[in-house]
Every structure is written in C-alpha cells, then in structure tokens.
Structure 1
Amino acid sequence: MNNIKAFQDYLQLEKNYSIHTVNAYVNDLFFFQEFLKSNFDQENLELVNYSLIRSWIVSMVDNSISNSSVNRKISSLKSFYKFLLKIKQIETSPLLKHKSLKTPKILQIPFSEKELDKVLNSIKYSDSFDGVRDKLIIDLFYTTGIRRAELINLKMQNINLATNTLKVLGKRNKERILPILPIVTQQANLYLSERARLERINDDDFFFLMLKGVKLNDSFVYRIINYYFSNVSEKVKKSPHILRHTFATHLLNNGADLNSVKELLGHSSLASTQVYTHNSLAELKKIYGDAHPRNQK
C-alpha cells in the first residue's frame, strides 16, 4: 500500500503526470490488488509473479474487457514495477517478458476541409455569448490543434492577441507557444467583449467560461463539438480529438513537414505524430492517381 502511495507521488511530482492520468494508474493497481486478494488471498504486489498476472489477464478477457483496455492496465503495472526497480524494492520485473495483446488498428477519420468550411462559415451562430464562444472554441481546435484539456485550462494571461500568440501548458507541464490566425484573433476579441458582459464570473483566471461564469468541463466541450458537427458530418466520431487529428492531417495534406506539425501538437517524439501521415498518404495517392498519365481513366 505504501509503495502505491509512493508511486502515486512519483508520477505526480517527478513525472508531472496529470491528476487524471495518475488516478488511472493507481486505480489499475487497486483493481489488480483486489483480484489477487479475492482469488489468491494475496495483496502484496511486490511478491507477484507473472503467473498471477497472467491469471488476471485471462480473467479480464473472460469478462469481455477489450484487449486495448487490458493492455492499458498492464502498462500501469509495468510502470509500477519499473518504479519498484528504481527504488530497489524488487530485483526483476514480473512483466519483463510480457507481450501486449493484439489490438485492431482503429482508423481515426478526420473531418474534411469541406466539413470544416460548413461548420465555420455556413452555420449561423447566435450573437449571444454562447454562440460567439462556441465558434471560437471550434476555430481554436482546428487552427491550433490543442488538446481538450489544454483549451479548458487556458488562462487569460496565456493569450496575447496583440502578437497573435497563445501559450499552452501541455502534458507533463511542457509549455509551447502557438500562432493564432488573424481571423481567430477577431473572433477572440468578439468573445472577450461578450465575456465582459457576463453578470457574474467565478473563475476569472480562465479564458473560456460557461454562461454562469465558471470554467468549462470535458463533457461540455465534447457536447459543443458533437452538436455543431452533427449538422454537417455523418462520421461516427465527432470529438475534440478528431479536430486535433484534422488539424494535423490538413497541414500535412497541404505541404507542412512532419517535424513542424510535431512541434505544433506538442508531441515529444515524431512517432506520435506519424499516426497522422496515413491520411496525408491517402491524399497524395489520390492526387497521384488523378494526375499521372499512366493511370487508366
């Protein structure tokens, strides 16, 4: 139990993981510990061998937990045992030779440029606070590629409309400066005018607010994106993450280099950014097929 608390502090204080991520790791450990206690009368994670972990994996699969969810829980265990190795509580990780379960590749389908044009230029937004804010949220997601948590936690001091820049606090408290397009700056100024008219503001530090003057939350932002894109798109998934995905794909399709997109997205490695290249390749294939004389019409 003490080692779980020490692991939690390590993730939060040394690794700078978000509270949401830390809680997910710790909950996975408690889930495993409860399994051990119920099935093997054992709850000391330091004494676990791979056979016990294997039994947990089988149990989860038998209970219809998806392979990707199982892999995520095992990833939490791996991190925990790496931590125990680091503080010399164990000599070998019981997961040393574990291989992840196979998972199907889920294709993230971005919105098309036509769909974005419809949402930003054809839909009639209300002139009220909500309408002005909603359009700005969509435009910021699409023109900066920021994450949902990054948008929600934007502070007033993070936005400099005089220089058309935005300071974002990303994963592990990494800061990055993003450019804002002039058309988005215009919308931001309009939003600030409406924001100043709110009757009451409780969370004054935060840039984006609800009508009641409090900061946004995850589900509220998701509903905004889903609502407006349901009017123009039949895609199954309509979320802030798909807008981030769309941002990257459209940049690559229009000639941006991978490393620049990586910096804009705040990825720590190119490997994370390369997942967006399949759409760019599909676009190139289409252009190639349409343009090359050897292609049979």
Structure 2
Amino acid sequence: MYFDEFFEEFIFNCQSRNLADGTIKRYRKMLKLLGDFLEQSKIDDLDDITTKHIRHFMLSLKRKGSKETYINSHLKLLRSFFTWLLDEGYNDTNPTIGVKFFKEKKVVIKTFTDEEVLRMIEVAGIYKYNNRKVNTEFTRFITQRNKLIIMLLADTAIRVNELCTIKNDDIYKDRILIKEGKGDKERFVYLSNPVIAQIMKYNRVKKNNFDGVVIDDNLILSKNGTKTMPLDIQVVIKKLGKEANVRKEIRCSPHTLRHYSAQTLLKNGVDVYSVSRILGHSNTKITEVYLRSLETDEVLINTRNKSPLSLIKRKK
C-alpha cells in the first residue's frame, strides 16, 4: 500500500526518539486501522485526506462499539502522525486540526480495597507446586519477589514499565529514582519502611538464589536472572488476585494497583499536586480523575475535621 512507507518511517522516527514500546505498539495499531479505512475509502494520496475523512474514521470506530476514551486516544496519535508528516514536508496540511474530541463519560475508577491488597501480599508469600508448599532457595526468591512487586506498585504508584526498568543503583535509602518515566521525565518516589524492609529481604534471597550466576542489574528479576517484562508482572498480579479472592468486578493488573495507590494517597489527605508529582503526570487534570472516584462518604470523613470552624476552634 502507498501509505505503508510513511507508516514505517514514522514508526522508525518514534523508535529513534526512544518512545516506550507500549506507545509504539499503540501507534502501529492506530496506523493499521487508518490504513484499512483509507483503503476502503479508496484514498491513495496524502493530499486527498481531509478533515472530513478523519471525522468519518473516528465515527467508524464508534460504530464498531469503541468507547469515547479509546477513540480520543487514537485522535491524539493521529495528530502526532500528521504533525510529523507536515514537519517532514510530506504533506501541506494537517487534516486533524479542527477535529474535536468526543465528549467522554465521567468514569469512576474502581480499585482494590486495603484488605484485598493485604491478602495479595499474604498469598504472594506462599509458593505452591503440585498443590503442596515448597521451600527451596528458588521458591523463597519467587515469593519474596512477588511480595515486593505488589508492595512497590501499591505503595509508590509507579507504572509497570517503570518497575521493570529500576536498576539497583536507582535506590537511594528511602527513595527510588525513576529514570524511564513516561515522556522521559525523571522523578523520585518515596519508599516506606515496610517496602525498604521487603527490598532487603528480597535482595538477600536473590543473592543466595543466583549465587555464582551472572544476572542483570535490574531490581526485579525473572526466574532466569534476566530483566522482568511487563507481561510477566501482569501474569503474577492476575494470579495473586485470583488466589486472594479479589472481587470479580476488579481487574487485577499493575495499573489497578496504581489506581489504588493514587486514591489512597488522596484519601489520606495528600494534595492533588503532590499526588500528580508522585504519579509522574504532566498536569493535575489527569490526577483529578482519581478524585472523582472517591466515594462521597470517604470525602465527608476526610473533610469533617478540616472544616473552617473546626480549625478555628483548634487555634483557640
């Protein structure tokens, strides 16, 4: 197809900019959908693509049952693609300019309860093989690693990609330097005492398990001593969630633990700006989505002792 060469050059440009694998994967998916749409519409020249075609492309996704958030994310990717075409001189106009986003529904993010997170940590400490508990250096490594995975994601709100790229040298006593955050932005995340203690236990069993073996310098390792991939982490959390009897309506994933961490920080009185910094968001509007998900009762309890008159009394 005529457009394939532009698609591949754009993907190469994304790779040379060191964009995350997940971002590149989304670009590929979007370009495949766009390519199929252009072929069906019998459009074979860049200059023939108009704003009307982009609107029709978005509407075609909606007719297939795609949600507004999904379609809007594709429009964002399309804008980046056509901006690149313009910058490279391959196109004279950007047909995505003027195309409005679909109005998105106010989504309430449901996540784990404190009890569910504690149960997941507890079941992570039990490794079973053929329905019996096993106690070897390897199983001690697996259990301590899985406990650390849950604890880090639940306590620091880091992304799964960030977790997989943490090096041992990125840990500074009570904090971790996240070097490969979204958009290549670096930030520190704080480590609580329980997590610091778990890192110490994990490093001890990791050293014993891989004694004499050359391993990667990543904090979280696979059973072979290599870097753990996001998909591996997702499988671990899904398995632990099932064993911990997490509610069926809750998606057991690394991102749900990120939601849990963000909502818990807000419930505990941490301001939106600080939570935004911890999450690595580009602005507080993204973080405010978590505020909408707090139950009314939770908001009332958090504000009860912070009302103007209550504070005046305390000053007296």
- Report the TM-score, using the length of structure 2 for normalisation: 0.79
2-side partners of 1:83 and 1:50: how far apart?
Answer: 17
**Aligned partners of 2:120 and 2:241 also within 8 Å:** yes
Q: Who is 2:85 aligned against?
A: 84
Match of 2:100 in 1: 99
Alignment partners' CA distance in 1, 2:121 and 2:285: 31
2:174 to 164, 168, 172: 164
Q: Please name the residue that 1:255 is paired with.
A: 269
SS in 1 for 2:189: strand
**Structure 2, unpaired ranges of 5+:** 128-134, 308-316
Q: Distance between the aligned counterparts of 1:203 and 1:106, measured in 2?
A: 43
Number of residue pairs the alignment of both structures matches: 288
2:43 aligned with 1:33, yes or no?
Answer: no
Q: Is 1:236 aligned to 2:270, yes or no?
A: no
Contact 1:201 1:214 in 2 (8 A): no
Structure-2 separation of matches of 1:287 and 1:165 = 27
Amino acid at match of 2:145: R
Paired with 1:256 and 1:189, the residues of 2 have a C-alpha distance of: 28
SS in 2 for 1:178: strand
Q: Compared with structure 1, are the counterparts of its residues 268 and 287 closer, same or farther at alpha carbon in structure 2 (3 Å cutoff)?
A: closer
For 1:198-237, what aligned pairs fall within 5 Å after superposition? 198-199=209-210, 203-230=215-242, 231-234=244-247, 235-237=249-251
2:160 alignment partner AA = R
SS of residue paired to 1:138: helix
Letter in 2 for 1:149: N
**CA-CA distance at 1:33 after TM superposition:** 2.2
Alpha-carbon shift at residue 88 of structure 1 (Å): 4.5
Select 1:131's aligned residue among 132, 136, 143: 143
Alpha carbons 2:157, 2:262 under 8 Å: kept = yes
Shift of 1:152: 1.2
- Pairing 1:1-297 to 2, within 5 Å after superposition: 1=3, 2-14=5-17, 16-40=18-42, 42-120=43-121, 125-126=126-127, 128-160=140-172, 163-168=173-178, 169-199=180-210, 203-230=215-242, 231-234=244-247, 235-280=249-294, 282=296, 283-286=298-301
How far did residue 237 of structure 1 move?
A: 1.4
Instruction: Give, in whole Å, the separation in 2 of the partners of 1:288 and 1:263.
Output: 23
Preserved contact between residue 198 and residue 213 of structure 1 (Cα < 8 Å): no
Tell which deviates more after alignment, 269-278 or 109-118: 109-118
22 and 248 in structure 1: CA distance in 2 versus 1, 3 angstrom threshold: same
Aligned partners of 1:202 and 1:214 also within 8 Å: no
* Structure 1: distance between partners of 2:286 and 2:58: 27
CA drift at 1:269:
0.9
Amino acid at match of 1:240: P
The answer to whether the 8 Å contact 2:237/2:253 transfers is yes
- Alpha carbon RMSD of aligned pairs, Å? 2.9
